[in-house]
Each structure stands twice: as structure tokens, then as C-alpha cells.
Structure 1
Amino acid sequence: MSTHQVTNQAPERVGVDEYGTNTALVEGVERNDAAWAHPGLHEIGVRVGGEQFQEDARRANRNKPVLRTHDRWGHRIDEVDYDPSYHRVLGAAVAAGAHTSAFAAPRPGANVARAASFMLFAQVEPGHACPVSMTHSVLPVVAAQPELAAQWMPRLLSTRYDSTLSPGKPGALFGMAMTEKQGGSDVRSNTTVAAPLGGGRYALTGHKWFCSAPMSDAFLVLAQAPGGLSCFLLPRLREDGTRNEIRIMRLKDKLGNVSNASSEVEYEGAVAHLVGEEGRGVRTIIEMVTHTRLDCILGSLAGMRQATAEAAWHVRHRSAFGRTLIDQPAMTAVLADLQLETEGATAAALRLARAYDADADEQETAFRRLGTAVMKYWVCKRGPAHAAEALECLGGNGITEDFPLAQRYREQPVMAVWEGSGNVIALDVLRALAREPQSFEAFDAEVSLAAGQDPRLDAHIARTRDRVRRITEDPAAEARARRLVADLALSLEASLLIRTAPSAVAEGFLAARLGEGMGRLFGELPEGVEAAAIAARA
């Protein structure tokens, strides 16, 4: 029948080099000393843009992980079964070094290249990024413990993935379990107990409210030792190869991130190894948290790129009222605004990643301390609304599960919650301003590199400096912390774009985010913005 002839639908978006088509990412990688990584990133871009990888991403999210507490004979096994597609996706990311390549081969731009590879994989399948991120983030903590480093570092740096639970595996992935049901972000209220066994070994007993990626080979865990809250490395296998006393109670039924199992676990005398000193658990694990916060930025940004790219693909192939959608000014403005958000986040994320490289000096370290928290708040907060607007560009197709943006819409709020929700991050920024003034000095120095180039940015920076001064002197500062963090984030994004982006992008961002005619919703661009030129970069 003639009604079965399909017309005016966008073709399937496959066979795309997701790296090569992301102009802002390619430029950012080169600008931040990682041009040497272009060939490998193009290979990843082609792989994740291919039909097989995209099909694996769909399968991994439709066939959710399943918990098996016992085998058929009644033995407790506490294992999670994943669809084979999930293992293929995770194995590809590990093989490409998206987890630990920055530590395996440190050089200028190493963290930038790793960030780009991580984002490319997460753009198409976000769930597997959780164990990839945690494995990357745990490395500095483990490396600082000589005995543990000798045992675990070769496996952490390996690019060989093995999903089985066996003591002779060449590679290893890590998870973490910090929060408990009575405390959440208030980890000092944890009640899990760590009883000394001697030789740096402890027996852990307690319940963890969130343990993501429970099939990881080991976890960083917080528990109450005799000396106070402490950090421990908890392997799934004991030294004799038997299963450790880790009980998976249930898998969380989550809004998004469904391909990645998140669980509640109980420890019944599980043997773990002290990391750092007793009573300094939060200080010990904060290094890992800082890295995972950066990856929350990268994960949200990966989602922004997917949303923008899918919207751009649709509006360039779909016609209505006699014109292609992209040629209709209202749609051009929406797509350009989505791209502006992606451009600003890309510039800031890659600049931060560069500050994590091994050659970072004290100034860079101080900059990333504040910058990571600021951008974690802003990018992760902007992600859900960005996804919703991009989804709307596809019309009815956007809210169906046959297209990827429905999944992305559910995914974006996850990053805003993980590693500190909005208020937790905003308060962390206040603490950094009060206790580590050098972090703001470094941040302000970075932002000020664009001083004098645009009066709107100059005025915004001046207002933000004044807010920083007033808020650090105000005992009721918490109520206004969010506004301050947003101002800091816009300062950094605008400064970077005015220094590095094409004039249409820089001017469009300044007008849309700092100008008098700035809009409240995506697509409300002021007059004079070169929307078509910006949308072309999407």
C-alpha cells in the first residue's frame, strides 16, 4: 500500500566518525596539547558511530542486569548477569584505554586524550562508563599505598577485559561503596564497622545503600575503624581465591543508567585492607571523588553532544511547511543554542582535564580544585534541560524508545546526583573559597586571561569577584551559593570561548549567556547572533 512507503524521515545515523564530526572536541583536544591522540580518537569515533556498537548499546539498556544470589544447588554466589552486549561495550572501552591510559602513559595532554575517549564511548552507551570512571579514579589512591600498588597497579593499567571472577585475571576494574541508607552524602554517619585483624587487614560488617558496578574486582569502601572513619580496599576474592563475604541484597531500579547494575550490599566479616591512615578515610578517598567528579562533567557533556548531534541530524533531514527544519529560523536558533551549551562545556571540561596531567604545577592543581566542583555543578545541572530540548526537536520520535534521546533524557539527571548533588557541590565550593583561597586565585587568574576583550565578560567577572568577597564574609552564605557557582561557571566558559572559539560561537555565547537579551530557555537567542554558523558546528 502507498501508506507503507516511508518518506520525510531522517535516515539512521550510523557509519559516523563521532570524533571527526565533533568539531569542538577535535579543536579542544588539539588546543590542550593532545593532538598526538587524533588517530586513536578517530578510530574510537568510527567504532562507536558504527552499527554494531550502537546495537550493543541498545541491547545493553533494554536487557537489564539480573541478580543471582544463589546457584541452583543453594550456594550463595551474589553475581549479576549482564547481556553479552554490555561486556562487548565495556571491553571495547577498556581495550582503548578509556579507563587508565592517562596513568599508563603520562605526558602533556594525556588526561585530555583520555577524557575524549571516555566521552566518545559514553556518548553512545553511558552505563558502562561507571566502572570505567571508578577504575580511572581509584588509581592515585592505590598508587600511594606501596603494598597494594604492587598487587593491583599492573591489573589496573591493563587493557585486557575479563568479565569472569577469577584470581588470575590480567586486568581489574574497581567500584566504590561509600553511602549508607541513614546518611547518604553525610558519610561521617556511616555505621559499617571495621574490626582489625592485624597486618593492615580488617573485617568489615555493615550495609551500603549504593554500590555501583558490584561485579567489579575490588572496591574502595568507607567504614568505622577504632581510629574513626577510614578507607579500605575490599576485593571480591580473598587471597586464597575464595569469595569474600559480600552479599548483594538487591539491584536498584533506576530512572537511568540501567545497563550498569547499582546495588545494596551487606558485608559479613568481609576482609579488606586499610588504605591510608585510620580516621582519615574522607581525606584518603577525596582524591578518587575529585576524579569521578571530573568524569561526571565528561559524562554529562557526552550526553549533551549526543543530544545535539541527534537533533542536528534530524532537523537536517526532516521537512515541514515547505522547508527543511534546519532552514526554519526558530529551529536554527534552538539548535544553535544547544550547540552553544555544548561548546562552553567542552572548552571547560578539556581545560580541566589538562590540569590533571602529571606536569600540573601548584597553580594548575589549585585551579582544578575549584574548577572541577564549579563545572560539576553547572554542566550536570544544565544536562537534563538540554536533553529535553533536543528531544523535542525530534517531535514524537524523540519520546519513543526506538530513538536514543529518550534514554539520554533519563540518563542526564544521574550525573547531577552522583558524587554530590547540587547543594553538596555548591557547599563544597563555599568551603574551597573559605579554606583554600589559592584555589579562587588560580581560577580567577585563568578567567582573567580574557580580561579586556569584551565589556560584558569584564562586567560579569567584576560582579562575580564582588559576590565571592561578600559571600565569604556572610554567615548566611549557603542560601546564595548556587547563584555564585553558576556565575563562576559562566565566567570560565565565556573566558575560554572568547579566547579560543570562532567569533560566531564566542559572540553568540556572550550574547546568550551574559548579554542583556539573554533568554530563559533554549532557543531564545538575542538579535545579531549568527545562529546558522553556530548550528553548522553541530
Structure 2
Amino acid sequence: MVSTHDGAPGGDTHVVFNQPPALAPYDASDDRALLEGLRREGAGWAEEDVRRLGRQAGSAEAQEWGELANRHEPVLRTHDRYGNRIDEVDFHPSWHHLMRVAVAEGLAGAPWADDRPGAHVARTAGGLVWGHAEAGHGCPTSMTYAAVPALRREPDLAKVYEPLLTSREYDPELGVPTRKSGLLAGMGMTEKQGGSDVRTNTTTATPTAEPGVYTLRGHKWFTSAPMCDVFLVLAQAPDGLSCFLVPRVLPDGSRNAFRIQRLKDKLGNRSNASSEPEFDGTVAWLVGPEGQGVKTIIEMVNCTRLDCVMASATLMRRTLVEAGHHARHRSAFGARLVDQPLMRNVLADLALESEAATTLTLRLAGAADRAVRGDTGEAAFRRIATAVGKYWVTKRGPAFTAEALECLGGNGYVEDSGMPRHYREAPLLSIWEGSGNVNALDVLRALSREPDTAEALFAELALAQGSDARLDAAVTRLKGMLAEGSQSGARRLVEWMALTLQGSLLVRHAPPAVADAFCATRLGGDWGHAFGTLPDGAGVDAILERALPAPDPSNTAAAQLA
């Protein structure tokens, strides 16, 4: 029997009202900070492709792929029905849909085969929009992107594998790498006894009679995307820690010894398989000289750290869009949330953080692009600023995502909203490629061993000198902190470096309302300890008008309510 209780319009207890429509479809590229940064950093030629990819990322189909890939997690099959060892991981079809788009759009190794200035910026911008669909599959694309410069340390191997790693063809079938249309690369660096301290690795590499070929024996602790075709692995050779290329299938078509002991049961990143592989007579090819494994992979680390910043900025933007959409369509206490001053303060504060993260991400991508092309000043800036950005932006991600989730109230705490998935994803990015302490210490290492990095950073900050007194005072304070240089104060130092760098970029490139509010709060101290504590004079209206995307006209329910 249908109730006639009149607590809802028409007396039906199940009439749904005052709930927002689904966000999708929406345009993930409708982001002024992103598009302006894309043009500024030399990749304006890619704008049409980024816009197209952004619309696809916000489509109902792509959003469903992301949800399904995380609901139906990868499954390890160590043996087939007859008892043969196979070590394969099965993925939901949605994972493959996501991967196929990412590789085809050049989000894996493609920029290394693109001579156009700005190719690496275009890839980063593509990641900033396609990441709205799902985060986990960004792991194998990131590692494939990062493997190319490391592999170039061994030109003979690069000649064979680089054309396949830079391919835009997604080929998930297991096979001889050189017979495939495209390859993905993973990495196996850490071990249970050392984690980031890879020099404590115990996996051994024994030379064979064939020059450059070794056999590995050992156990890796955290190897993501174990279904990749090739892996860069660290192991102890006779002359010390070295880097090796390990294919899953050998040139003769036989399977290499790559025994997956288990998949990790992770907090987030559930769509992506992370594993513990064991090597026992595993055939590997040396990459770079023996004993220089860390030096060989350092370029790989620079690339993956940039992608950590990118992914965190993407999560910020994605959850801000969701929070803004909810606030536009939800009413409380007689007014829409988006019209209520306190909610507007929260959203504007989040918008400031998001724009600062996106702007810094694209500046780092521009530095990477120009460094690849031989700009030594940009290479020095990239060296220190990427570590600074990795530390700070990924640290801000979890708090940001939690605040955006809270904007939805109880609705945001429910799995169906998607916000819990984003919240669980956020902490990964501050752990992957070195936790906060590792990155802070890396900044100190760069400052002490590579003085040109500090010079490059201050040259960048000087471009905004005289534009804002609070920024100038922050730079002066930073110089004083650098003179102290204690390890125990490394986090304070790196945080201040990040804030001054973000402030200088916004002062130079963002509208006055954005730059003034950022400098007043993050640098000037006129701020509380939580989001939503902007001062009364902040240009909240201008910040929100810039930050919140317009409803997609194809989403008729959202457009009618807006």
C-alpha cells in the first residue's frame, strides 16, 4: 500500500526532491586555470584534444568505467586448471576501456616520440582531465612514461623497446614484447626490509655467459601493474646496486620467472593490481653500468613524482567539481547551499587550493619539457621544484578531499557518491615515489649538492618580485630558513618553498582576486586551520565564478536546475 503521509509533495513518502541530479555528463576540461596553463607552458596546440578528452572523461560512460573497475577488483590466478604456473591477473573489461583511451591519447610513453615543444605539457594536461574518470589506471601509464628516459641509458635496449613503449596501441595480451603493437612498463624497486632505502635491497643479479644478461633471485615488496610487459628492477650485481630490464615473456616465447605471490589489499587504488613478485632464475638485461642503479632510475623518479603531483591536483579538481555541483542543486534553511556565505567561503577556499595545485603542476610539466630539450636552467628548476611540489600538493590532497566530501554531507559518505573512492585514493599520492620525509630530505640533498637548484628556484620567485608585499616578505623569510638548513626543520622549509612558489605563480598568472586571497591566507597568515576560513575581504564571488564549471547542456536535469 502506498502511504498518503503528506510529509512530501503529493503525499508520497518516496517522491525524491531537493537532491542534485547526477553530475555526468560534464566537461572535465572546463577549467580556466588548466587551459590557461596549457597555453602558457607551450602546448596551446593541444587544446582541442584536451577539450575533447575532458568531455569524454566526464561522460556517463567513462564515469561508469571508473566505478566498475574499482568495484570489480583484479583477481590473481597463479595456476591454470591443470596446475601450470601462469601468474596472471584478470581485470574487469572497464579497466581495459580506461587503459585503451589513456594509451591512445598519449598518456603513456607517446610524448618521447613527439618532437613538438610542449608535448610533455600536453600529456600532463591530458592526465589532469582524463584522471576525472578513474585514478588507478594512471599507474601503468605513468610508469611507462617514466621508463623511457631510464631505458635510454642503454641505447641498444632503447632502440628495441622505445618505439613500442611510445606506441599509442594498447595491447593487453601476454606475448613476446618485440612482437606486440605496444608495450607497458612497470617497476620493481622496493623490498620488505628497506622500502625507500633501496640500497638495502637483497635481490641478487648474477652475470651469465652472455654479455649484459643476468639472472635475478629475490623478492620485491610493492610492484604495481604486474601485467605490464617489461619491468625496470633494482638488484645487487657484483659491483653494486644496478638497474635491469625484466620482460615477462622471453624472446623465445617462454615465460620468464615472474612469480606473483599475492596482490596487495590496499586502502584505495583498488582497480590497480599491486603485487609481490618473486624472482628465481629470472632473466634480466642490464640497464646502465653496474653499481649505478640509483643514478639510472633518477630520471624515472622525476617523471613519476610529477605524475603524483598531477594526480593529486586532478583529485582536487574532481572533488571540487562534485562539491560545487551538489551545492548548486541542494537547498538548506531556505536557500541553495551555493548561495549561503559560509558554504561559498568553503568552496572558494578549495578553489584557491585547486588552482594553485593545477598551476604548479603545469609549470613543472613545462620545466620537464624544456629540460628534455636541453634547457639547463629549467632542468635545475625541475630538479628541486618537482620534489617540493610532490611533497606539498600530495600532502594537501587528503585534507582537501575530506573537505569536499563534507560539502555533500551524509550523501558524500556513501559509496554511491564516488567521494569515498576519491578520499581513499588521496593518501597514496603522498606515499608513492617517496613519502613526505623522503621528499623533504631529497630537497635538502639537492640544495647541498646542486647549488644551481636554489639559484633556479629564486630566479623563478624573482619574476614576481614587487607585485605583492606579502609574497616579497615570504621570499625573504625563505632565504632565512635556507640559512638554517636543519634536517628536523626540513618539512617547514619545503612547505614554505611550495607556498612561495605557488604564490609567485598565481601573482603572475591568476586574476587579482585569486592571487590576493592566496597571498593573504597562505603567506600573510590571515587564515584559520581549516578550509572555509577566508577573510571577509576575499573576492569569493570572483573566485567561484572562475572555478566552478558551467553545467553541461547535454545534462538536461542539471542544466534545468542550475
Where on the TM-score scale, by shorter chain, does this alignment land: which range? over 0.9
CA contact (8 A) 2:57 2:131 kept: no
Partners in 1 of 2:514 and 2:328 — Cα distance?
20
Shift of 1:100: 2.0
Q: Which whole-Å CA distance do the structure 2 matches of 1:66 and 1:41 have between them?
A: 33
Q: 1:367 to 1:142 in 2, by over 3 A?
A: same
* Residue from 89, 107, 110 that aligns with 2:116: 107
SS at match of 1:254: coil
Deviation at 1:101, TM superposition (A): 2.8
One-letter code aligned to 2:214: Y
Deviations 1:355-404 (A, max 9, x none): 11133511100000000000000000000000000000001111111012
Correspondent of 1:48 among 53, 57, 60: 57
For 1:68, the equivalent position in structure 2 comes to: 77
Q: Counterpart in 2 of 1:394?
A: 408
Q: Which amino acid aligns with 1:338?
A: L
Partner in structure 2 of residue 268 of structure 1 = 280
Match 1:349 to one of 361, 378, 384: 361
Structure 2, unaligned stretches of length 5 or more? 3-11, 549-562
Report 1:81-480 matches (<5 A): 81-167=90-176, 168-197=179-208, 198-357=210-369, 358-471=372-485, 477-480=486-489
The match for 1:36 among 45, 52, 55 is 45
Q: Do structure 1's residue 15 and structure 2's residue 28 form an aligned pair? A: no
Shift in Å, 1:226: 0.3
1:123 deviation in Å? 2.3
Distance between the aligned counterparts of 2:314 and 2:269, measured in 1?
A: 14
Aligned equivalents of 2:525, 2:438: Cα separation in 1 = 31
SS in 2 for 1:17: coil
Deviations 1:475-527 (A, max 9, x none): xx111000000000001100000000011111111112112312211111112
Residue of structure 2 equivalent to 1:474? none
Q: Contact conserved, 1:388 with 1:409, CA < 8 A, in 2? A: yes
Letter in 2 for 1:405: M
Contact 2:111/2:166 (<8 A) preserved: no
Structure 1 unaligned blocks of 5 or more: 472-476
- Cα deviation for residue 149 of structure 1 reads 1.2
| Structure 1 residue 228 displacement after superposition | 0.4
Deviation at 1:143, TM superposition (A): 2.6
Contact 1:124 1:306 in 2 (8 A): no
Which amino acid letter does the alignment assign opposite residue 32 of structure 1?
A: E
One-letter code of the match for 2:341?
P
Sequence identity (%): 55
Instruction: Give 1:119 shift.
Output: 2.0
- Report the 3-state secondary structure (helix = DSSP H, G, I; strand = E; otherwise coil) of the residue aligned with 2:218: strand
CA distance in 2, matches of 1:382, 1:150: 40
Deviates more, 1:501-510 or 1:114-123: 114-123
SS in structure 2 of the partner of residue 223 of structure 1? strand
C-alpha distance in 2 between matches for 1:121 and 1:270: 36
CA drift at 1:405: 1.2
1: CA distance, partners of 2:521 / 2:326: 24
Residue 283 of structure 2: SS of its match in structure 1? strand
Residues 1:295 and 1:137: Cα distance change in structure 2 (over 3 Å): same
SS across alignment from 1:453: coil
What secondary structure does 1:18 align onto?
coil
Taking structure 2 as the reference length, the TM-score comes to 0.94
| Alignment partners' CA distance in 2, 1:493 and 1:4 | 48
Q: Which amino acid counterpart does residue 518 of structure 1 have in structure 2?
A: W
Write the distance in 2 (CA, Å) between the matches of 1:3 and 1:163.
Answer: 49
Segment of structure 1 superposing worse, 398-407 or 106-115: 106-115
Following the alignment from structure 1 to structure 2, what is the Cα–Cα distance between the partners of residues 309 and 106?
A: 34
CA deviation string 1:331-355 (max 9, x = no partner): 0000001010011111111011001
> What is the CA–CA distance in structure 2 between the aligned matches of 1:84 and 1:162, rounded to whole Å?
13
8 Å CA contact 2:58, 2:132 repeated in 1:
no
The aligned counterpart of 1:3 is 13
Q: Distance in 2 between matches of 1:119 and 1:100?
A: 16
Give the structure 1 partner of residue 558 of structure 2: none
Paired letter, 2:398? P
The 2-side partners of 1:190 and 1:528 are apart by: 55
Look up the equivalent residue of 1:511 and give its one-letter code: A
| 1:218–1:236 CA contact under 8 A, matched in 2 | yes
State the Cα distance separating 1:141 from its structure 2 match: 1.3
Per the normalisation by structure 1, the TM-score is 0.98
RMSD of Structure 2 on Structure 1 (CA) = 0.9
SS at match of 1:3: coil
Aligned residues of 2:153 and 2:296 also touching (Cα < 8 A): no
Q: What amino acid does structure 1 have at the position aligned with 2:26?
A: V
